[in-house]
Structure 1
Amino acid sequence: MFYISTLLQLLLSAAVASWSVSYYSRSICAFERSSVDFSCMFDCSDYHILKTKYWFKPEAHQKQDGSQVGISVYNSEAAKIHQLYKNRTAYANRDKNCSLQLHNVSKSDTGMYFFRFETYSSRGKYTGPGGINLRVAVLPFRVTVKTKKVNEHIHEGDSVTLTCSTENCTPTQEPFAWFKNQRLIPEATDSVLQITSVSHDDFGNYSCGLKNSSTTSADEILLDVRYSPKNVKIAILSSGNIQEGNSLTLICKSNANPAVTNYSWFMIKEANISYIGSDREFSIKSASQKDGGQYFCTAKNDMGSQNSTVTPLKVEVPSHRNFLLTATAVFLFLMAVLLMFVTVTEEIYENLRKSPESEENLTTYVTYVDLRLPSSTSDRPRCNSQDVIYSLLSYKD
């Protein structure tokens, strides 16, 4: 009889040694109000008849390794299911499949879960070791920024990691969505957004969420990238065309982080560069011709500086001034023509002379005059002969 009892114990020990429970996910992260699957398979000796199959969760004051049975999450004896989990579970109930589905997950469901089966034998009880750790993610999402630097500003060229997470854990089974200044970043679908070399274009407010959900982070986070002035240019404020006497203002504009702390203004005229101001705005109260030229400005912050492109500035003369200038030019031209005419007349009379062929003994005589005309600059045609002879008959006294 002793040998039979010993043999039975050995057989039972061998049978129990072959029992097993396999969990196919040791850790699960789920959102509140979602459903989770505890995937599980078990094996036990065919010599034992199963009495009870159930899932349990150790209470806070118990050991969390499964050695102490806690509250019943699911039980094949429905009356033993804890009130917190009634009507929230669905058991696979297929052969040796011990998978369990838990619905409407809440933060209080966080903890360890174990599967256990019992037979009608006093020693025929087995709990699958290890269990499944359930963590419940509590919304909203939040974005954290990490760099290799510690307590330093982010500069252009730095490597930056943005992580989308929730309290306790972050589910990764669904695609994520990233937003910059409330605009979707199509290529970003993971919970981590990596920027290997950040630039000034990456400056902005970032948020995240699930791609197939409208839920995003409650608060956007600013990616504060520091950079030297960019896109420096000059804007001209004037009521119209820049004319003499009008006022105008030149503004030096740029993108920079931190803000520009120093401005410089320069004027280029006849290949000379002159420093003319140190404010963001350069004003001219009454423009004149001497203000015409080429202008550029320099913007500077703690990160560096940049010059604007050269901007030409032309000061126009008002229309009534143009009329006066034209009238003056016409008057001066007419005066020049008149003076020329007087000068030519005098030259003609100076060329008058008597002919050497005249005879003094004639009662009447003929005086010959040789008239020589000076060279003309006129385009009018003239005769080939340069000398014209005029005769005058006169009587001697």
Structure 2
Amino acid sequence: MFYIRILIQLSVSAAVSSLSVSYSPKSICAFENSSVDFSCTFDYPYWHKVEVSKWFKPRKDQKQDGSQQGMCVYHNDAAEIHERYINRTTYANQDKNCSLKLHNVSRKDIGKYFFRVETDHYWGKYTGPGGIDLNIAVLPFRVTLNTQNTKREIHEGDSVTLTCNTENCTPTQEAFIWFKNGLLLPQATKQTLRFSSVSHDDFGNYSCGLKNSDTTSTIKTLLDVRYRPQNVQIINFPSKEIEEGDSLTLNCKSNANPALTNYTWFKISKTNTSYIGYGSKYSLETVSQKDAGRYICVAMNDVGSQNSTVIELKVKEHSRLDFLFIATTVLLLGIAVTLIIFCIMKRRKQIASKKLPAEKTPTVAPTEEIYENLRNTHKSEENSTNLTYADLMLPPASSDRPQYNSQEDMTVIYSILSDREKTKTFEQI
């Protein structure tokens, strides 16, 4: 009896040891709505006949070691397949090939999958241990940053690693692509991007994805490299001499992270360096000879500072000839303005003198007054028959006109009167 038991145990051990299942790979990461391949091979004794071949997935409340079968993903009897997996699988259906393709995977499919074979022998039932672990990658891709700096502030010279991944897992079956500020980095094809000594040139936004896929990330990660001011320079500086009297504004520019907090200006005269101002701009409203010299700008932020290159300002002095020319021009211009004003005022006086009042009677000479009185008297005699004499207006003795013989004047006057009376007497007759 004892020997019979030993023979039975040896027979069972031989049968079980000849049953085997091999999985490849041990774990799979896939995108949602994609298809995954569970590569599988199995073996059994040649005198056995396979009656059942099946894939199953333990439920969450069951042991995940394959000892509890759970939901049937595939079964050679279609009636045994769980409703969640109906029409979603393709079985290899070849001798000793147990590979399975699962279509349209989702997060509900996350878990372990096992293959089980059952033969016509009582001891010919076997589940491949370990199974295949399926995980689903949740888009989009994200870039995670790792650094040895415990303060989480990245400075120039630090070691930095960027990793391209998705939530839950990251598919690695294809090459990766990397972008910096939206531009492709052709040399970066791995899941990780390493900087052994990061510099300010590496500052920027990074994103990643799979090379032969449309699943690139939409979330950008900033590699925020903090660095002191770089490329400090003074711009708007004249390329040649500047003339006295001109205005000049100098600008100090630099790249830095974090932003610049201070600009300081210095002037170098021989061995003396003096502070002249602060701010990104330094202005000279009126340049003079004392402004000639060398200038330097110092830019500063929280990380450090850097000087600009020293520039020299040359001021061109006005020559004596230029001064005389300017003075002569100003003098001639003043004379011209004075003459114009004088001519305008003289013209106005002439116009004013020609405009006399309407009631003013022109001044006449004494002799002209006498003859005018005589004419008026004659007109009066013609208008009045009773008028027999005329008033005479003689000029005063102090008149400037030439003195005439009074006797001759009286003779002329009486002669005129005698003639008039004759005429008048004749008219009356």
TM-score norm. by structure 2 comes to 0.70
Distance apart, 1:70 and its partner CA: 1.2
Q: 1:220-276 deviations in whole A, cap 9, x for unaligned?
A: 1111111111100011279x9954333332111111112222221112345543221
The match for 1:28 is 28
Distance apart, 1:146 and its partner CA: 0.7
Amino acid paired to 1:132: I
Alignment coverage as a number of residue pairs: 327
Equivalent residues in 2 for 1:77-226 (5 A)?
77-226=77-226
Residue 327 to residue 28, structure 1, CA distance change in 2 (3 Å): same
Distance apart, 1:286 and its partner CA: 2.1
Is the partner of 1:144 in helix, strand or coil? strand
The match for 2:63 is 63
Residue 321 to residue 66, structure 1, CA distance change in 2 (3 Å): farther
Distance apart, 1:326 and its partner CA: 9.6
Amino acid paired to 1:170: T
Q: Is residue 309 of structure 1 aligned with residue 309 of structure 2?
A: yes
Q: 1:266-315 deviations in whole A, cap 9, x for unaligned?
A: 12345543221122211112222322332110112222221101223334
Task: State how far apart, in whole Å, the 2-side matches of 1:105 and 1:306 are.
Answer: 57
Q: 1:16-36 deviations in whole A, cap 9, x for unaligned?
A: 232111112111111212221
From the two aligned structures, give the one with the greater helix fraction.
Answer: 2
Where structure 1 has 5 or more consecutive residues not aligned to the other structure, the ranges are: 329-397
The match for 1:390 is none
Q: 1:206-228 deviations in whole A, cap 9, x for unaligned?
A: 11111123332222111111111
The match for 2:266 is 266
Q: 1:78-104 deviations in whole A, cap 9, x for unaligned?
A: 222222222221111121011111122
Q: 1:169-206 deviations in whole A, cap 9, x for unaligned?
A: 11111111111111111111111111000001011111
Task: State how far apart, in whole Å, the 2-side matches of 1:7 and 1:267 are.
Answer: 106
Residue 37 to residue 254, structure 1, CA distance change in 2 (3 Å): same
Amino acid paired to 2:297: C
The match for 1:52 is 52
Task: State how far apart, in whole Å, the 2-side matches of 1:317 and 1:88 are.
Answer: 92
Where structure 2 has 5 or more consecutive residues not aligned to the other structure, the ranges are: 329-429
Task: State how far apart, in whole Å, the 2-side matches of 1:123 and 1:270 are.
Answer: 103
Residue 315 to residue 95, structure 1, CA distance change in 2 (3 Å): same
Task: State how far apart, in whole Å, the 2-side matches of 1:293 and 1:196 are.
Answer: 44
From the two aligned structures, give the one with the greater strand fraction.
Answer: 1
Task: State how far apart, in whole Å, the 1-side matches of 2:243 and 2:68 are.
Answer: 94
Q: 1:52-98 deviations in whole A, cap 9, x for unaligned?
A: 10111101111111000111111111222222222221111121011
Distance apart, 1:145 and its partner CA: 0.7
Is the 8 Å Cα contact of residues 241 and 313 (structure 2) preserved in structure 1? no
CA RMSD of superposed structures (Å): 2.8
Give the fraction of aligned pairs with identical amino acids, expressed as a percent: 63
The match for 1:385 is none
Which piece of structure 1 moves more, 5-14 or 216-225? Answer: 5-14
Is the 8 Å Cα contact of residues 178 and 189 (structure 2) preserved in structure 1? yes
Equivalent residues in 2 for 1:275-294 (5 A)?
275-294=275-294
Residue 311 to residue 12, structure 1, CA distance change in 2 (3 Å): same
Task: State how far apart, in whole Å, the 1-side matches of 2:77 and 2:226 are.
Answer: 65
